[in-house]
Amino acid sequence: MNQNLLLIIVLAPLLGSIISGLLGKQVGRMWSHRVAIAGVGLAFIISIWVFKLVVFDDQTYNGQVYQWMQVGSISFEIGFLIDSLTAIMILVVTFVSLMVHIYTIGYMHHDDGYTRFFSYISLFTFSMLMLVMSNNFMQLFFGWEAVGLISYLLIGFWYKKPMAIYANLKAFLVNRIGDFGFLLGIAAVLMYAGSLDYVQVFIQAPEIAKKTISIFSDVQWSVMSLTCILLFIGAMGKSAQVPLHVWLPDSMEGPTPISALIHAATMVTAGIFMVTRMSPLFEFSDTALSVILVVGATTAIFMGFMGLVQNDIKRVIAYSTLSQLGYMTVALGASAYAAGMFHLMTHAFFKALLFLAAGSVMISLNHEQDIRKMGGLRKYLPITYWTSLIGSLAIIGFPGMSGFFSKDLIIESEHISSITGHDFAYFAILISVFITALYSFRLFFLVFHGQEHFTLHNGKQLHEPSIAVRIPLILLAIPSAVGGMFIGSIVFGDFFDGVILVLPEHNVLAYFGEEYHGLVSFILHGLMTTPFLLALLGVSVAYIIYVKRPNIAVRLRQRFTWFHKVLVNKYGFDNFNDKVLAGGSRLIARVFWKIGDLTLIDGVIVNGSAKIVGLAARMVRHIQTGYLYHYAFAMILGVWLLLTLFVV
Amino acid sequence: MSDDLPLLSLAIWLPIISGIIVLFNGNNRLVKIVALLAALLTFIISLALYSRFDISIHAMQFVEFAPWIPDYDINYHLGIDGFSLPLIILTTLSTVIVVVAGWEVITRRVNEYMASFLIMEGLMIAVFTALDAILFYVFFEAMLIPLFLIIGIWGGANRVYATLKFFLYTFFGSVFLLLALLYLNHVVGDFSIISYQQATLTMKEQTWLFLAFLIAFAVKIPMWPVHTWLPDAHVEAPTGGSVILAAVTLKIGGYGLLRFALPIAPDASMALDWLVISLSLVAVVYISFVALAQSDLKKLIAYSSIVHMGFVTLGFFIIFRISSNYDIGSIEVLALEGAVIQMISHGCISAAMFLSIGVLYDRMHTREINDYGGVINTMPVFAGFAVFFAMANIGLPGTSGFVGEFMIIMAAFQANFWFAFLAATTLILGAAYTLWMIKRVMFGEVTNENVAKLTDINSREFIMLSSIAVIILVIGVWPAPIIDVLHVSVEHLLAQVSQSKL
């Protein structure tokens, strides 16, 4: 594979970003978006070619672009590793990015920051590609932080909104807590493998797995467990797992296209990708896998519940994203990496679709986000309606839709996994199936069905937004519907052979591989399983409560006030973080400054010694009287003292 | 330039003599042009040094030697190695920027202002090149005078307190330095720093010498708990003064530890490494919290400087704790080179931060965070720079701030898990104090009419900020050119340090 080809994939979006960012004023809006879209489009086309080379021609690539620095025997490099995992990621990233770029023309049409927005999303694409194409841990961290930066810039895109600049700071800080663990994990890798190059590190994994480290005196920890858990803390930040999930719902303050691109389809899945990439390490630590399993399952179920009580269209989808990320994480914990990756892919399509559809609804209604002020939009927005329906069916795992294949596989994997905590995980994600169906169709029905609760100003006609908005919806709806049909080749075939390592005792997917007899039987089988019944139940309940008998919803809320309160308060996470963590830090800060620096060091030591010197000087000054007989007396006294001491 | 030009002397005396010429000239316009030319020329000389520097030998290069006070064997002895060279370039670059920064802002006593900075530049370069202990000491002390004047004359309202505090603090430190240098002369018989490094010393001698050096240089760096002069000095200093103070003066402390404490007293350094490591980690964690509490922009960045310099001292002293199991030496090199690059990077970033604060101060005449808010609305270009520098300050990959912190945290993990753990808290705390400040100053609606009247940066400010931004970016994307200069000197120092003198 030609390295220049790979360089074009990353550099084309970067160039687009630089031109639209630095020269936005000079080249104008039109050329800004043309350049940015051309860059990402080119990256997408080459990504298809690279995918073809990897998958059909069995080519891989692992090489250095340039040496960042060489210290002693350790080489820090910028380089690419292209295998099936990378190939599928760059395809997903560039495709969704391209859709979002096109959509932005319509969505951000009236915004003053038009060129700046294009610059940011192209820069994001560059960073995300660098992240997934990396062949070493350092560059991974580069991309990791760079996407975090752009997420920060984009959440705070409308920098006048107090909530937006609160949310972007929060997102950055919470992500940094994850990065804190991640960086320590990388340090552990360097310490025990002596290299940051993936291949070099993975070769040594079985050796590292035998080592122990003492962190608190005497207690020996498995190095591999420590390393993997530290790395996973990074994934928890980026992929918003409990308790580091708090930033994602607030990130909805950013413009909708980036909610689709960054906070649903690509960046938040970086953690999933990272763990999958590191499967040769994680496989050697059952402890780490258990942690992942439990964290993922907790996220899947508890975040899903919160989606039920939100009234902001974007926040409902955000909580749904959290819950779906929990699914992917759970899959990793059960060593069903391929299933996790497959869900990552299908989710990227249907979640980007749902967000962009939500954006379409919002533009039609003058940026209204409250679903209680919508309803009955089906007849006004047919394309948005049908694409949303496809997205919603996909997310609930309706047999045949893309989400069905990936989700069903994850649920079944939990069932037969042997990792500690798999029972809880199975139970949690099974319940989540019902919850997912309930909140997804609650949203769907409240927005598109029932009575019209919106009011239009100045006799404005309600209609579908511009073509730039509609095309991406349609193009994303296609893979959302049929993307699942590749399950045979991606998950059960030899697609990830040599890329993802699964130890034989963990290999749950192999079991399904033997059972797998083609798409049709898979779908037919799906029609008879519990998840399908639960999903149907969820949709039916949503239909009854929100379309047929809206008063049930009110009564339920009155009946379960306490539960509703817990959910509205987000289980107290935000309050705890604001009051205890942020407030506590500010308190410590003031105490350290006022007492430590000002009172003790400056007050007592510095100014104190100055005062003592001053005091001593004032006392000594009394001796300097200027009278000759005082000095003479002192001299006589001195001579006498010397004589008595030394002579006598 | 021919090969036998005394480049080091030129780099020292060209700015000093230009400074003296400028001092006696009343024509402000001429003064500024001469100052700029002198600064630029010195910068070019330093680049010539870089291009001719041989990165494969650890011996001192560009050596100049002439007797100065023959009766006492005190010589005008200059030379540089991989540690001095980057710091010299940092000095010459900062001076150019400071001259540009003061171009329109300084209207009072322009000649004296420019002269102070030019003389200061020469003296600082001299400190980084001196190979004679007395020569070093003279320049080390002389350097205080222009800085004292800069803060005392062009400083803020409370400048007298600040200058006194600054002067006494650093003077307190240098007394110990002088004692240590004289004692070493007594041991080896001459004043050459090279022979100091080769001196055979008992553990007791080493311990006292080490403590003397530590006190002297800890004040300069500054390390916790002798840091409280820095925030006061920065707050009162004019922008240019802050830039030089942060970018170069603090580095002299780090340079001193490398040049004196570690090679002269290696056994004591090893025995007392716990002390420096603890103080450094306190600086990283404790001072980060203190920075969070600041309401004055300059104080905040001053405290942030102390945090970043904490990484430098941490990198210097964890080398004794590293027990690498696969290849000997690489991680120690990583720690030391990380520390040096952290100094260079901090020089650029803190200079950029203080310049940015200067840009705001020139317009609003206040440093209180609460007086700002929504600056991005009226100064979008400037806000772009400010956010970029803030990101560099919190060590975002791709900026120079990442390189040193990354290397030191990687190395610290191999010394002790908890060292790395505490050092890495800067990822969170650094982001907290820096970005919270950015949020309050830059983002949001315009909060008051003064902010509403702000005008965006002019082309002079643009050139100034963008040139530093480019340097920060280049080092972050490709640090190899600086790292390569360091290799041989670092390995030589490690050889010296690992060789017990007992």
DSSP-based helix, strand, coil % in chain B, nearest 5: 75, 5, 20
pLDDT at A459: 61
Best probe of the A interface among B289, B304, B462, by most A CBs < 10 A, is: B289
**Averaged pLDDT for residues B189-216:** 91
Are the beta carbons of A407 and A397 closer than 8 angstroms? yes
ipTM greater than 0.90, yes or no? yes
pLDDT at B98: 92
Are the beta carbons of B248 and B347 closer than 8 angstroms? yes
Minimum Cα–Cα distance from A175: chain B residue = B428
- DSSP-H helix ranges across B189-296: 193-198, 203-220, 229-236, 239-244, 250-256, 262-264, 266-271, 273-292
Tell me what the pLDDT averaged over chain B comes to. Answer: 90
Nearest to A332 by CA among A288, A386, A266, A365: A288
At residue B501 the predicted structure's pLDDT band, cuts being 50, 70 and 90, is: confident
The predicted model scores a pTM of 0.92
Interval B72-106: pLDDT, tens: 888 999 999 999 999 999 999 999 999 998 888 88
**Residue in the block written with tokens 């960046």:** A267
Report the alpha-carbon distance of residue B8 to residue B46 in Å, rounded.
Answer: 8
- DSSP-H helix ranges across A209-336: 223-238, 247-250, 256-260, 270-277, 279-282, 286-307, 313-333
Asked whether residue B326 carries a pLDDT value surpassing 70, the answer given is: no
Contact A156 B414 (CB under 8 A): no
pLDDT at B2: 45
Q: Which residues of chain A are within 8 Å of residue B445 when distances are taken between CB atoms?
A: 160
Contact B427 A72 (CB under 8 A): no
Contact A187 B412 (CB under 8 A): yes
User: In Å, what is the CA distance from B195 to each residue of A168, B188, B310, B349, B490?
Assistant: 56, 7, 29, 36, 18
**Residue in the block written with tokens 């590191």:** A278
Cα-Cα-Cα-Cα dihedral of A325, A331, A337, A338, to 10°? -90
Report the alpha-carbon distance of residue B409 to residue B411 in Å, rounded.
Answer: 5
Does any CB of chain A come closer than 8 Å to the CB of residue B374? yes
At residue B325 the predicted structure's pLDDT band, cuts being 50, 70 and 90, is: low
Q: Which of B291, B326, B409 is closest, CB to CB, to A194?
A: B326
Does any CB of chain B come closer than 8 Å to the CB of residue A67? yes
Q: Which of A71, A138, A586 is closest, CB to CB, to B483?
A: A71
At residue B258 the predicted structure's pLDDT band, cuts being 50, 70 and 90, is: very high
Task: Work out whether the CA dihedral B319, B325, B327, B331 comes out positive or negative.
Answer: negative
Q: Which residues of chain B are within 8 Å of residue A180 when distances are taken between CB atoms?
A: 424-425, 427-428
Asked whether residue B117 carries a pLDDT value surpassing 80, the answer given is: yes
Interval A541-596: pLDDT, tens: 988 888 888 788 788 888 888 888 888 888 888 888 888 888 888 888 888 888 88
Q: Which residues of chain B are within 8 Å of residue A165 when distances are taken between CB atoms?
A: 439, 443-444
Contact B333 A177 (CB under 8 A): no
Interval A109-151: pLDDT, tens: 888 889 999 999 999 999 999 999 999 999 999 999 999 999 9
Q: Which residues of chain A are within 8 Å of residue B451 when distances are taken between CB atoms?
A: none
Residues 6+ apart with CB under 8 A from A173: B428, B431, B432, B435
pLDDT at B324: 56
Report the alpha-carbon distance of residue A248 to residue A237 in Å, rounded.
Answer: 10
Nearest to A425 by CA among A292, A325, A317, A321: A292
Cα-Cα-Cα-Cα dihedral of A29, A35, A40, A46, to 10°? 160
CA distance B300 to chain A (A): 11
More confident residue, A527 or B258: B258
Q: Which residues of chain B are within 8 Å of residue A597 when distances are taken between CB atoms?
A: 228, 290
Interval A439-475: pLDDT, tens: 999 999 999 988 888 877 666 678 888 888 899 999 9
Q: Which of B168, B396, B407 is closest, CB to CB, to A145?
A: B396
Asked whether residue B478 carries a pLDDT value surpassing 60, the answer given is: yes
Contact B478 A160 (CB under 8 A): no
Q: Which residues of chain B are within 8 Å of residue A188 when distances are taken between CB atoms?
A: 413
Mean pLDDT by 10 residues, chain A (648 residues): 90 94 87 92 95 90 92 90 93 94 90 91 95 94 94 93 92 94 94 91 90 80 92 94 90 91 90 94 92 93 88 91 93 92 93 93 87 86 93 91 88 88 90 92 90 74 84 92 85 85 87 82 84 90 86 82 83 84 85 83 78 79 76 82 76
Are the beta carbons of A357 and A395 closer than 8 angstroms? no
CA distance B341 to chain A (A): 12
Does any CB of chain A come closer than 8 Å to the CB of residue B453? no
In B16-157, beta strands by DSSP E: 61-69, 74-80
Report the alpha-carbon distance of residue A579 to residue A582 in Å, rounded.
Answer: 6
Cβ pairs bridging A and B (under 8 Å): 137
Here the tokens at position A78 are 């910028």
Here the tokens at position B453 are 């009247």
Which contiguous run of DSSP H or E holds residue A155? helix A137-155
Does any CB of chain B come closer than 8 Å to the CB of residue A172? yes
Nearest to B237 by CA among B117, B388, B90, B88: B117
Q: Which of residues 31-90 of B touch A (CB under 8 A)?
A: none
Q: Specify whether the backbone of A459 is left (phi greater than 0), alpha (psi in -120 to 50) or beta.
A: left
Does any CB of chain B come closer than 8 Å to the CB of residue A205? no
Contact B410 A190 (CB under 8 A): yes
Contact B377 A188 (CB under 8 A): no
Residue type, A547: V
Q: Which residues of chain B are within 8 Å of residue A141 when distances are taken between CB atoms?
A: 397, 406
Nearest to B82 by CA among B322, B343, B401: B343
pLDDT at B76: 92
Which contiguous run of DSSP H or E holds residue B413? helix B400-415
Residues 6+ apart with CB under 8 A from B152: B159, B160, B163
Asked whether residue B502 carries a pLDDT value surpassing 50, the answer given is: yes
User: Beta-carbon neighbour count of residue B14 at 10 Å?
Assistant: 19
Does any CB of chain B come closer than 8 Å to the CB of residue A69? yes
Residues 6+ apart with CB under 8 A from B360: B297, B372, B375, B441
pLDDT at A457: 67
Contact B327 A73 (CB under 8 A): yes
Q: Which of residues 95-134 of A touch B (CB under 8 A)?
A: none
Does any CB of chain B come closer than 8 Å to the CB of residue A156? yes
Q: Which of residues 406-425 of B touch A (CB under 8 A)?
A: 406-407, 409-410, 412-414, 417-418, 420-421, 424-425
Task: Work out whether the CA dihedral A359, A364, A368, A372 comes out positive or negative.
Answer: negative
Backbone dihedral angles phi then psi of residue A638, each to the nearest 5 degrees: -65, -45
Contact B427 A186 (CB under 8 A): no
Are the beta carbons of B374 and B441 closer than 8 angstroms? no
pLDDT at B94: 93
* Cis amide leading into B225 (omega within 30): yes
User: Beta-carbon neighbour count of residue A513 at 10 Å?
Assistant: 14
Does any CB of chain A come closer than 8 Å to the CB of residue B398? yes
Which contiguous run of DSSP H or E holds residue A81? strand A74-82
**Residue in the block written with tokens 């984009």:** A154
Q: Which of B398, B420, B443 is closest, CB to CB, to A156?
A: B443
Q: Which of A180, A188, A586 is closest, CB to CB, to B428?
A: A180
Report the alpha-carbon distance of residue B287 to residue B301 in Å, rounded.
Answer: 11
